[in-house]
C-alpha cells in the first residue's frame, strides 16, 4: 500500500526515476480542474485564517526576527549543539543514532523493530520519514508502518503521496474520501460528513494505538541544552504514538535543533499561527529521554543528515534549513496554488521545496525546480523565520545554469508562463494582489539585494558582537 510513497532519496543522490521535471508535471496538474478548485479553496481559507491570527500579535516582526536569529545561531554552531543534544538525550536515558543518509536512518528503525520482533508499527506524519522513504524500507524488511494522521491514512489507503505539507490530502474531496473509506476501513453506510469520516478513522486506529508495541515519529524541534524533543500536532495521533507504545523511535533532521528550552517560546508562537492559522495547535508534546512509569520506556533519536550538511555548506542556500515546515509559503504562492504539490515531484513542495529539494539532492537532480517561481516575494513576506526564498531561488538558478542544466531562463519562462498562461488567467492572478507585474520582472527587489555572500554578511553584521568566545558563552549559558 505504501508503494507509491517512495519519493526521492537523498542518500541515493538521485531523484526517483518516476520524478518528472516541473514543467511537464505542472502542465498536467493545470489541466486537472477539480484539483485546481480544491487547491484554490484550500489555500485561500488557510491564508485568511493565518492573516487573522498573525494580525492580532503586536510583536510578530520581533518574533520573526528572533526565530530567524535563533536558527542562524543553531546552524553556525551546529556541531556543538548536536553534541550537546546527544549528551542530554543520553543522560535522560535515550539512545542517539547518527544517520549520514536515508538508508542508515531506515536501518536504525528496522534494527529496533527486529530487536523487539515487531512486524507492525504506528507512525505519525512526518515529512522527514517521507523524505527517507521509511515506509518502503520497512516494508522491504517485513515491517508494516500504519500511518495515523487522518490525511496520511487517506493517502496510504489510496496509495498516493502528499501534495501539501500540512493538508496532504488537499487534492481529494469528501466524496472521494468516503468512497475510499467504504472500500477499505468502513462499511457501505458511511456518509461523507467530515465528522463521520473522522470518526471512522478514529475507530479504525484506536485499537492499533492501544496495542502497538512500537512507534515512529518525526519531530518539530530538538532542544540542545535539555535533550527535549517537541512534536506539534492537531489530531492527538502524535500523543498516542509518542506516549502509548513501549518503544519509540524519533527521526530528527540535524537542522531541527534549538539551543535552549526557552527558545521554544518563539517557535511555539510562530508555528501554529503560520501553519494552521490557530493561536495554538491542539496538542504539543515535549519529552526528555525516558520518564519512568510514563510513556515509552525505550526511546531512540535518529539524527539525520541526508544532504543537510551539503545545504549547510552553501552560505546563501543554508537558510533553507531554517524552515519550520509551516507551509505558509505554499498557501501564498501563485504557482503552488495553481499546480499543487505533485507538480514539484518532491516531498517538499511549493516555494520551500523549490529551494530545499535541489539543495538536498543536488542541483543536477532537480534543475527545473528553482525556476518554478515567479519571484513575486509573497513567500518571503509570510515566512515566520524570514527565509529569503526569492534570493535563494536566484542563487540556485545561477548554479543550475552553471552546472550546465538545460532549463535556463527560456525554459523557466516557459514553465512560468504556462502557469500564468493567457491574458485572462494572468489578470486573475494580478487581482490576487501579488503579481502586479510580469513574472521574473520584479527585479527591483532582486537587484537591490547585494551579491549572495554580501547578503549573508550584512545580516550577520546587524548582530552585536561580544568578545566572549562561543564555547565560553555556551558553557555559561547552560
Partner 1 sequence: MNGSRELILGRVRDALGDAGEAEALPPRAYRRQGTLEPAARIELLCERIGDYQAQVRRVGAAELAVAIGEAFAAEGAARVCVPGGIPPQWRPEGVELVVDAPLTLEELDGVDGVLTGCTLAIAETGTIVLSAGPAEGRRALTLVPDLHVCVVGEDQVVETVPEAMAPLAKLVRAERRPITFISGPSATSDIELSRVEGVHGPRRLIVLIVNKELQ
Exactly one of 354, 383, 394, 419 binds ligand SF4 (CB under 6 A); which one?
383
Q: According to the binding rule CB under 8 A, does residue 287 interact with partner 1? A: yes
Rg (CA), the chain: 22
CB of 327 to ligand SF4, least distance (A): 5
Task: Report what 260 binds from partner 1, ligand SF4, none; CB cut-off 5-8 Å by kind.
Answer: partner 1
Sheet strands (E) in 218-337: 221-223, 228-233, 247-253, 257-258, 283-288, 298-304
Place of cell 501539501: 164
User: In angstroms, rounded to a whole number, what is the distance separating the alpha carbons of residues 185 and 200?
Assistant: 8
Place of cell 496538542: 283
User: In angstroms, rounded to a whole number, what is the distance separating the alpha carbons of residues 467 and 337?
Assistant: 48
Residue partners of 172: CB distance under 8 A and separation at least 6: 38, 154, 158, 180
SS3 146: strand
Exactly one of 224, 385, 396, 429 binds ligand SF4 (CB under 6 A); which one?
385
* Helices and strands: H and E segment counts in the chain: 23, 10
Site string for partner 1, 86-125 (x = CB under 8 A): x-----x----xxxx---x---------------------
Residue partners of 211: CB distance under 8 A and separation at least 6: none
Q: According to the binding rule CB under 6 A, does residue 328 interact with ligand SF4? A: yes
CB of 438 to partner 1, least distance (A): 32
CB of 62 to ligand SF4, least distance (A): 17
Enclosing H/E stretch for 63: helix 60-76
166 within 8 A of 327, measured Cβ to Cβ = yes
Which range touches ligand SF4 (CB under 6 A), out of 31-39, 200-208, 253-261, 377-385?
377-385
| Total residues interacting with partner 1, rule: CB under 8 A | 102
CB of 197 to partner 1, least distance (A): 6
Exactly one of 19, 29, 46, 271 binds partner 1 (CB under 8 A); which one?
46
Task: Report what 437 binds from ligand SF4, partner 1, none; CB cut-off 5-8 Å by kind.
Answer: none
Q: Between residue 257 and residue 286, which ones bind partner 1 under the rule CB under 8 A? A: 260-262, 264-266, 268-269, 272, 276, 278-286
Q: Between residue 240 and residue 279, which ones bind ligand SF4 under the rule CB under 6 A? A: 274
CB of 95 to partner 1, least distance (A): 10
CB of 143 to ligand SF4, least distance (A): 30
Residue 234, C-alpha cell as written in the block: 492537531
CB of 127 to ligand SF4, least distance (A): 10
Exactly one of 238, 384, 390, 407 binds ligand SF4 (CB under 6 A); which one?
384
229 within 8 A of 286, measured Cβ to Cβ = yes
CB nearer to partner 1: give 303 or 393: 303
Q: Between residue 231 and residue 260, which ones bind partner 1 under the rule CB under 8 A? A: 234-237, 239-240, 243-244, 254, 260
User: In angstroms, rounded to a whole number, what is the distance separating the alpha carbons of residues 400 and 361?
Assistant: 13
CB nearer to partner 1: give 178 or 401: 178
Site string for ligand SF4, 33-72 (x = CB under 6 A): ----------------------------------------
HSE-up (13 A, CA, CB side) for residue 187: 1
285 within 8 A of 250, measured Cβ to Cβ = no
Exactly one of 268, 329, 394, 415 binds ligand SF4 (CB under 6 A); which one?
329
CA distances from 447 to 326, 377, 378, 443, 454 (A): 28, 13, 17, 6, 13
Amino acid at each position: 500500500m505504501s508503494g507509491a510513497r517512495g519519493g526521492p532519496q537523498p542518500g541515493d543522490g538521485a531523484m526517483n526515476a518516476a520524478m518528472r521535471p516541473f514543467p511537464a508535471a505542472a502542465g498536467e496538474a493545470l489541466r486537472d480542474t477539480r484539483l485546481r478548485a480544491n487547491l484554490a479553496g484550500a489555500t485561500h481559507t488557510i491564508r485568511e485564517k493565518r492573516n487573522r491570527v498573525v494580525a492580532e500579535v503586536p510583536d510578530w516582526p520581533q518574533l520573526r526576527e528572533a526565530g530567524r536569529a535563533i536558527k542562524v545561531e543553531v546552524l553556525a554552531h551546529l556541531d556543538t549543539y548536536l553534541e550537546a543534544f546527544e549528551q542530554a538525550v543520553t543522560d535522560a536515558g535515550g539512545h542517539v543514532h547518527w544517520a549520514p543518509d536515508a538508508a542508515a536512518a531506515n536501518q536504525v528503525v528496522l534494527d529496533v523493530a527486529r530487536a523487539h520482533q515487531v512486524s507492525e508499527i504506528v507512525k505519525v506524519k512526518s515529512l522527514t520519514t517521507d523524505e527517507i522513504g521509511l515506509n518502503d524500507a520497512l516494508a522491504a524488511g517485513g515491517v508494516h508502518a500504519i500511518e495515523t494522521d487522518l490525511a496520511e491514512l487517506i493517502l496510504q489507503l489510496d496509495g498516493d503521496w502528499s501534495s501539501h505539507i500540512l493538508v496532504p490530502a488537499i487534492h481529494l474531496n469528501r466524496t472521494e474520501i468516503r468512497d475510499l473509506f467504504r472500500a477499505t476501513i468502513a462499511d457501505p453506510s458511511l456518509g461523507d460528513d467530515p465528522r463521520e469520516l473522522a470518526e471512522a478513522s478514529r475507530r479504525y486506529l484506536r485499537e492499533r494505538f492501544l496495542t502497538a508495541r512500537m512507534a515512529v515519529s518525526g519531530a518539530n524541534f530538538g532542544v540542545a541544552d535539555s535533550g527535549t524533543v517537541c512534536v506539534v500536532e492537531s489530531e492527538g495521533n502524535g500523543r498516542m504514538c509518542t506516549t502509548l507504545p513501549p518503544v519509540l523511535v524519533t527521526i530528527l533532521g540535524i537542522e531541527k535543533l534549538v539551543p535552549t528550552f526557552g527558545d521554544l517560546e518563539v517557535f511555539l508562537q510562530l508555528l501554529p499561527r503560520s501553519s494552521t492559522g490557530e493561536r495554538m495547535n491542539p496538542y504539543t508534546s515535549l519529552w526528555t529521554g525516558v520518564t519512568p512509569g510514563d510513556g515509552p520506556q525505550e526511546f531512540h533519536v535518529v539524527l539525520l543528515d541526508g544532504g543537510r550538511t551539503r545545504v549547510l555548506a552553501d552560505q546563501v542556500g543554508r537558510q533553507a534549513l531554517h524552515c519550520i515546515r509551516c507551509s505558509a509559503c505554499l498557501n501564498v504562492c501563485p504557482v503552488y496554488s495553481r499546480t499543487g504539490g505533485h507538480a514539484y515531484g518532491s516531498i517538499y513542495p511549493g516555494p520551500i521545496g523549490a529551494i530545499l529539494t535541489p539543495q538536498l539532492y543536488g542541483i543536477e537532480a532537480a534543475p527545473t525546480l528553482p525556476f518554478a517561481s515567479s519571484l513575486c516575494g509573497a513567500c518571503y513576506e509570510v515566512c515566520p523565520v524570514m527565509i529569503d526564498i526569492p534570493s535563494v531561488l536566484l542563487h540556485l538558478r545561477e548554479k543550475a545554469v552553471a552546472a550546465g542544466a538545460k532549463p535556463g531562463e527560456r525554459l523557466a519562462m516557459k514553465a512560468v508562463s504556462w502557469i500564468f498562461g493567457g491574458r485572462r488567467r494572468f489578470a486573475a492572478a494580478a487581482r490576487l494582489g501579488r503579481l502586479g507585474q510580469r513574472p521574473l520582472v520584479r527585479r527591483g527587489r532582486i537587484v537591490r539585494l547585494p551579491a549572495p555572500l554580501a547578503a549573508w554578511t550584512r545580516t550577520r553584521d546587524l548582530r552585536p558582537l561580544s568578545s566572549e568566545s562561543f564555547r565560553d558563552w555556551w558553557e555559561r549559558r547552560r
